[in-house]
Amino acid sequence: MTHDAIYVVCKWLTGRASAPQHLQPIVDALQQDAAVSSVADSLIGLKEAREEADYDHTRPFKKRETLTLLEDARATVARLKTATPSLDQAMALIALKTTPR
């Protein structure tokens, strides 16, 4: 899985971007699951924070903010470890997005 694929699929799952038409029914169903939405939202926030830290060299990061992001990352990983069928399906979408055609 790539960071870009995770980001794109999570944007689909949170309604921030449109999924391809052939995947939209699956995305619509997964959007109804609060765990999927929560994990997708967290992964988007974490990726955006990582990119900001990597590429915006003028942005200061406060200790509390950094610790909060670390807590978010740990909580997201814990939710993924207790995967539900819907979370498994969301991960399958990410794998599908990652697979070259």
pLDDT digits (tens, 9 = 90+) for 4-14: 889 999 999 99
pLDDT in the model for residue 62: 87
For the chain, what is the domain count? 1
Q: Tell me if 35 sits within 8 A of 86, measured CB to CB.
A: yes
What helix, strand, coil percent values describe the chain, rounded to 5? 70, 0, 30
pLDDT in the model for residue 83: 75
> Looking at 1-101, which runs of residues are DSSP E strands?
none
pLDDT in the model for residue 77: 92
Task: Report the predicted TM-score, pTM, of the whole model to 2 decimal places.
Answer: 0.85
> Which residues form the domain of 17?
3-98
- Would you call 10 exposed, middle or buried from its count of C-beta atoms within 10 A (0-12, 13-18, 19+)? buried
pLDDT in the model for residue 93: 79
The fraction of the chain above a pLDDT of 90, given in percent, is 55
pLDDT in the model for residue 101: 60
- In this prediction, the residues of the chain whose per-residue pLDDT falls under 70 are 100-101
